[in-house]
Amino acid sequence: MSERWRAWPVAQIFPETVPGVSPSGARITYVLAGVAPEAPCRTAFQPAAVLRGCRMALRATYADSTQTFVATVGIAVLDRVWSGSSRTGRPATVRPVAFPEGPAERFGERQYFTGVVVGSYEHYMVATAAGYADGRPYQPGDRLVPRLRDAARQIATALLRALTR
């Protein structure tokens, strides 16, 4: 299981679509905007989110089907089992990845509002950074943050579940 990331095709790790619920509560589909090349953990994650024993990071960005919200998902491949807990707010997390000519083209460090970090008793940790697709920067106190965090958790959990089942 710890080597699936090497053996599986990219589309199996980052599927074209992930079903979910929008921050407003509507059922939607998150659509793959792009997949970044493999990167060292120190490049793909913010410094406080890098775990010892992190071998490699895989990242992709998804946009909701309305192209209102985007989320970068980072998968850390670990040398040892990680069993940490989810974090809330605007945590240290994966670095957002923008992709030109689409809903994720203006998504970056200043634009992520929230994120989560989830793991399993396997060799993977999944982190998300989520925000608006229109490029608006993070504003402390935005009331959307808890609902957007829940949507980001859904994406992370779905990808982690697919990778570890």
Spatial CB neighbours of 8, under 8 Å, sequence gap ≥ 6: none
Contact call for residues 86 and 118 (beta carbons, < 8 A): yes
pLDDT tens profile 26-71: 999 999 999 999 999 999 998 888 778 889 999 999 999 999 999 9
Q: Using alpha carbons, list the distances in angstroms from residue 133 to 91, 93, 96, 148, 152.
A: 19, 18, 12, 12, 14
Lowest-pLDDT range of 42-46, 83-87, 159-163: 83-87
pTM above 0.85, yes or no: yes
CA 115/CA 109 separation, integer angstroms: 12
pLDDT tens profile 90-131: 567 899 999 999 999 999 988 988 888 887 667 888 999 999
